[in-house]
Amino acid sequence: MSKQSYRVCFCFRRRFRVLAAEAPADVKNLFNRYSDNGVMSVENLHRFLIEVQKEENATLEDAHAIMNNLHDLKILNIFHRRGLHLDAFFKYLFADINPPLNSKLGIHQDMNAPLSHYFIYTGHNSYLTGNQLSSDCSDVPIIQALHRGVRVIELDIWPNSAKDDVEVLHGGTLTTPVALIKCLKSIKEHAFTVSEYPVVITLEDHLTTDLQAKTAEMITQTFGDMLFSSDSCLKEFPSPESLKRRVLISTKPPKEYLQAKEVNETGATKGTDQTDTEAWGREVSDIKARYNDKDDSDEGEADDSDEEDPTSQQNTAPEYKRLIAIHAGKGKGGLSDWLRVDPDKVRRLSLSEQELGKAVVTHGKEIIRFTQRNILRIYPKGIRFDSSNYNPFNAWTHGAQMVAFNMQGYGRSLWLMHGMFRGNGGCGYVKKPDILLKAGPNNEVFDPEANLPVKTTLKVTVFMGEGWYYDFEHTHFDAYSPPDFYARIGIAGVDADIVMKKTKTLEDNWIPTWDEQFEFPLTVPELALLRVEVHEYDMSEKDDFAGQTCLPVSELRQGIRAVPLHSRKGEKYNSVKLLLRFEFI
C-alpha cells in the first residue's frame, strides 16, 4: 500500500468514527435540578415524572420499576444502587422504556358503541402482493395486514376457469389467482393474533348462484361459531366489544348482484354502477388515450331498494344471503339517495376517492350525518396501478369509517394510516371524536372547513437523533463523510392545522443535535397526527430518506420521549430514534 493510499484510508476511517451521544444542555439542566451531588434518587425521579413528564399518577413504585428496568438493561449496575447518574438518566430518556405513546393504556377507548362510531383499519385488494395489474394474488399480504392490526380484508371473488370453484383475483388484469379457501383459512388462523376485535371481510362478488352457495359453505365451514350473521338487515350495528373474536361478511345482497347483471347484459346501465372489471377496462382505455382520471366502483354496487324481483328471488342462494352481516348498496337515485339515513336499518356505502372529493363539496353535511349511523367505505381510484394511496383525511374528517388502503404500497399517505391506528392500543378500531358523532342544538354537524378557534398548542422540542450509524451502511448517505441530517416536523389533520416545519441541517454528524423548538396551534387536535421525518441533505441529488413516524396527537405523552423511526414501508428500525419533548401549552 502506498503512503498516499494509506493516508486516504486513514482519513476515511477517521471521518466515519462515531462519538458517543452526549446529553443535550436541557437534559443536563433537568438532571441537575432533580439530583443531589450528581445522583438522581428514586424520590427525585418520581418528582421528575410528575413535574416534567406530566405523569400525574406516577407512584414511587413506578420510579422503582424504571430503576429495575435500567438494571435489567445493564444501563445501571451494582455500583449505582443509590440512583441515576447523568449518563444513566440520559440513556433512560432515550430508551425503548420511554415511548411517545402510553403502552400501559392499551385499549383505553369505549368499545361499546356501534361499529359506525369507529375508524376501522381497512385494506383494499388485500390479496395483492404488488401492483394492481400484474402482481401475484396470495394469502401472504392478508396475513401481513392482519399482523399489523388491519381489521377489514377485501376479497374479489370470481369463478375459476372450469366454473366449478372460487378464486380470488383482480378481475380483468394479469394478476394470478389464489384459491378462496386458502385466503379464508389464513384469515381464520391470523385474524386475532394482534387484536381480538372483529374482522370484516368485504366481498366483491362476481359469482354465479351455485358458486355463491359454494362460497357460503366454505365460509360457514371455515369460521363456524366465529361468524356473526343476521337474517335481516341490522337496525343498528353491534359494538366492537360485543363482536370480539367474530368475523363479519359485508357485500351487497345477491338479488342486487343478479339485477345488476341482468341490467348490464341488456345494456341498460342507468341506476347501476359498473363492476370493477368493466371500470378497469374503461380506465385502461382512457389512460391509453389521454391519461384521464375516471371513477371506478369497487363492488359494482347496485339497487339497494327493498323491492323483491320474483326472478331474482328464485335464483338467489339463501344461505349466502344469510351470511351477510353488513349489507352494502348504493340505491337507485343519485348521491342524495345514497346518503339517505334509514331509521330502521343500517348499511354500508362505498365511494371512490374521486366520488368522495366531489361529494364533500355538495353534500358534506349529509355525509357526516350518514356516517353517524351507517358505514362509509372509501377506496382508491382505479388508475392507482402502482398500489399507491390517497390522503385519508378528507374521508376521516367527514366520518368515513373504512378508508381502504393498499397496504403493500408505501408513502406518506400510508404513514398517516399507520399513525392513526397506533392509537387505542393498536387494536384496529379508533373511536371517532364526538364532533363527528353528535349534532348541535340546531342539528348542525361538524364542518372541517370552518374557521375554528385554537383549542390547544403542541410545543415540540427536537433535541437530537441517533442510531443511523448502527442501522445503515456507513456509506449509505455519503461515500466519504458522515451524513448531513435535518428533521421535518408537522401536523396532518383538518386543513387549518396542516403545516410542516424544518430544522437546520447539521453537517457531518451521525448523532445530530438540533435542539430546536416548534409550536403547532391546533383547532381540531382530536383528528391531528404528528408527522416526523428525517432526511439527509444531498447537494447534487434528491435528499436521502432517513426515517419517519406518525403519531396521534391526542395520545402523545407529554415530557421528554424517545421516538422510534420507521422505514418507508413502515418497518421499525432497530436503533434509529429521536429525542423529543412534547408540551401542550
Q: If we measure between CA atoms, which residue out of 99, 61, 31 comes closest to residue 557?
A: 99
Known catalytic membership, residue 418: no
Is 124 among the residues known to form the active site?
A: yes
CA 145 to chain CA mean position, Å: 10
Give the list of residues 6+ apart from residue 83 with CB closer than 8 angstroms, or none.
35, 39, 40, 41, 42, 44, 45, 67
Q: What nine digits make up the cell of 444?
A: 348542525
C-alpha distances out from residue 281 to 124, 277, 287, Å: 19, 6, 10
Distance CA 116, CA 138 (A): 30
Adjacent-strand bridge partners of 336: none
Q: How would you list the strands of the sheet with 513-522, edge to edge?
A: 499-502, 485-492, 529-536, 544-552, 559-566, 572-584, 456-466, 513-522
DSSP string, 115-176: GGGEEE-BBSSTTBSS-TTTPBB-SHHHHHHHHHT--EEEEEEEE-TTSSSEEE--TTSSPB
Q: Which of 315, 335, 344 is nearest to 256 (CA)?
A: 315
151 CB burial (10 A radius; 0-12, 13-18, 19+): buried
Beta strand spans in 404-493 (E): 429-431, 456-466, 485-492
Question: Residue 387: helix, strand or coil by DSSP?
Answer: coil
Check if the beta carbon of residue 206 is closer than 8 Å to that of residue 277: yes
Rg (CA), the chain: 27
Instruction: Please tell me the distance from the alpha carbon of residue 353 to that of residue 527, in angstroms, as a whole number.
Output: 19
Listed residue (582, 427, 452) closest to 517, CA to CA: 582
CA–CA separation, 556 and 15 (whole Å):
37
C-beta of residue 382 within 8 angstroms of C-beta of residue 283: yes
Of the listed 46, 117, 170, 418, which one is catalytic? 170
Question: By C-alpha distance, which of 396, 394, 404 is closest to 431?
Answer: 396
249, 212 Cβ separation under 8 angstroms: no
Selected catalytic residue, list 46, 71, 85, 124: 124
Give the residue among 554, 519, 563, 558 at the shortest CA–CA distance from 420: 554
Q: Distances in Å between the alpha carbon of 526 and those of 194, 229, 279, 399?
A: 25, 33, 37, 13
Q: Which residues are part of the catalytic machinery? A: 124, 170
